[in-house]
Amino acid sequence: MENNQIMIKAFQKAHEMVKNAENIKIYSHIDCDGITAGSILSSTLDRLEKDHEVEFITLDKIDDLSLENELTIFSDLGSGQNVHKLGNSSSKIIILDHHPPLRPMIYDNHVSGEFLEINSHYYGIDGSFEVSGGGMAYLLARTFGFYDLSWLGVLSAVGDMQNNMPGKLVGLNQKILTDSVNKNLVDPINDLTFYGRQTRPVYVALSYFGDVKLPITNNRNESIHMLNKLGIPTKNGKKARVLSDLSKQEKSLIFSELLKMLSREVPRKYIKYVPKLISGESYEFLEETKYSPLRDASEFSTAINACSRHKHPEIALNVIKGNRELALDEMETLALEHRRYLAQKMDWIREEDRIIDLKNLQYFEGSEIKSELIGTVAGMILSYGDWRKPIIGFTPVNGDGDGIKISLRCSRLLAYDGIHFGNIIRKVAEKCGGNGGGHSVACGAYIPDENMDKFLKTFDEYLNGKI
């Protein structure tokens, strides 16, 4: 049987298990992908009129769970954890995951009760860029005919940065996108890939360009100057124009100008990757109001992240499931607090010149920054440092003695050139008595407090000759 057929059969079995269960618990990962996945499952169960509860958790909580419901669904997590040990003779378990699995596909030794694990990797689908946790949840919803939830599969894939490296959604993600396009819910647009397509004035969006330091980087005046030079109005009457207001022709003027600026700036070996830095596919949700942050997949996912990082995943759940009254207000309040928090921490780093340069990397000690946000801050501060090197930020996990959380961010050019920091950070963290992993441009690690100096030194040496 073909991979695809085997996967369809597995989802049919999950369909039956859901149909036959009366009370269901969902544990989903507390990040953008996991929250969206949990929301898809919850909407599905609402429509099937099944009693259910959703809880968003971090991976370290799984070992301590005790299963009390007839059916438990683990979503966007479970494949990398010892979930099979949680089962008892009366429990039924479904895992829907896209992270590398611990167990082989057919697994029935030492498992009591019913146990069904559906992991994309079993069917030759790479969960790092071909399908997200939300995509796996949608495939279950799809067996019930709920094609209108497909736009959430797009949202979760973008939230998981699956489109980053290819420049657009590919593989199974693309099939899910096709469902959403057929339902007239998503418009995929060949676009400039600047963040803030619906909400940021174009000149502001341009000034956040940080993969390479350009005159416009962190300089709104230069951005306005560039737009003036190209004859592109920055305002429409009194209102500042956003990227989605621009015509195709205006966008291609900006594209050519940036291509010129970047080609002057980057070393020769990177030149072939430059177009991918500034163009790619963006995804617009057609049911959402124009100029709302929910209209653009990437902005929507930031709003979800703001909820999860400040430990209010339930607000995001409600918004995703369609509550546009109170929940949306709460989400906007959180997003505002989120932006203020980040701006304040950025100032804290910059005022004291806290970025320290090593030979192959740069780092900052971020003890004033919550561990949930150290990566976000690292990503934003990169444009003030040296884009040719990765930046590492670190902070205590929860106060002293619990270890250190480390986050790394780098220019996408380094990743396009083949360097995978997710794999490197895992190796270095393991040498320092910790663990780590993640994407090529955004990854992290946890290590014991006393090994921070060793970590930096090992990392810096490891990169010799590599960047």
Q: Which is nearer to Mn ion, 217 or 301 (CB)?
A: 301
Least distance to Mn ion from the beta carbon of 166, Å?
A: 17
Least distance to Mn ion from the beta carbon of 296, Å?
A: 20
Contact call for residue 296 and Mn ion (CB under 5 A): no
- x-or-dash string of contact with Mn ion, 266-285, rule CB under 5 A: --------------------
Distant-in-sequence contacts of 213-220, Cβ < 8 A, 24+ apart: 213/265, 213/383, 213/387, 214/258, 214/261, 214/262, 214/265, 215/261, 216/261, 217/383, 218/383, 218/384
Q: Which is nearer to Mn ion, 59 or 230 (CB)?
A: 59
147-186 residues near Mn ion, rule: CB under 5 A: 160
- x-or-dash string of contact with Mn ion, 417-456, rule CB under 5 A: ----------------------------------------
Least distance to Mn ion from the beta carbon of 407, Å?
A: 17
Q: Which is nearer to Mn ion, 27 or 459 (CB)?
A: 27
Contact call for residue 130 and Mn ion (CB under 5 A): no
What pairs with residue 408 in β-bridges?
392, 443
Least distance to Mn ion from the beta carbon of 96, Å?
A: 10
Q: Which is nearer to Mn ion, 27 or 203 (CB)?
A: 27
Least distance to Mn ion from the beta carbon of 98, Å?
A: 6
Q: Which is nearer to Mn ion, 80 or 275 (CB)?
A: 80
* Stretch in the footprint of Mn ion (CB under 5 A) among 132-140, 182-190, 351-359, 376-384: 132-140
Contact call for residue 135 and Mn ion (CB under 5 A): no
Least distance to Mn ion from the beta carbon of 191, Å?
A: 24
Task: Give, to the nearest 10 degrees, the angle between helix 248-265 and helix 220-229.
Answer: 120
Q: Which is nearer to Mn ion, 128 or 362 (CB)?
A: 128
Least distance to Mn ion from the beta carbon of 368, Å?
A: 29
Contact call for residue 76 and Mn ion (CB under 5 A): yes
Least distance to Mn ion from the beta carbon of 404, Å?
A: 24
Contact call for residue 33 and Mn ion (CB under 5 A): yes
* Stretch in the footprint of Mn ion (CB under 5 A) among 27-35, 185-193, 292-300, 363-371: 27-35
Q: Which is nearer to Mn ion, 117 or 460 (CB)?
A: 117
Those residues with Cβ within 8 angstroms of residue 378's Cβ, 6 or more apart along the chain or in another chain: 364, 366, 391, 392, 393, 407, 408, 409
Least distance to Mn ion from the beta carbon of 99, Å?
A: 7
Among 38, 78, 133, 201, binds Mn ion (CB under 5 A): 133
- # residues near Mn ion by CB under 5 A: 4
What pairs with residue 404 in β-bridges?
396, 447
Q: Which is nearer to Mn ion, 134 or 379 (CB)?
A: 134
What pairs with residue 96 in β-bridges?
75, 118
Least distance to Mn ion from the beta carbon of 134, Å?
A: 8
Least distance to Mn ion from the beta carbon of 132, Å?
A: 5
* Stretch in the footprint of Mn ion (CB under 5 A) among 68-76, 258-266, 301-309, 348-356: 68-76
Q: Which is nearer to Mn ion, 74 or 387 (CB)?
A: 74
For Mn ion, which residue has the nearest CB? Answer: 33
Burial class (CB in 10 A: 0-12, 13-18, 19+), 120: buried
Q: Which is nearer to Mn ion, 133 or 210 (CB)?
A: 133
Q: Which is nearer to Mn ion, 33 or 296 (CB)?
A: 33
* Stretch in the footprint of Mn ion (CB under 5 A) among 75-83, 178-186, 321-329, 361-369: 75-83
* Stretch in the footprint of Mn ion (CB under 5 A) among 32-40, 106-114, 167-175, 389-397: 32-40
Euclidean distance between CA atoms 381 and 352, whole angstroms = 13
Least distance to Mn ion from the beta carbon of 261, Å?
A: 35
Judged by the rule CB under 5 A, the positions of this chain that interact with Mn ion are 33, 76, 133, 160
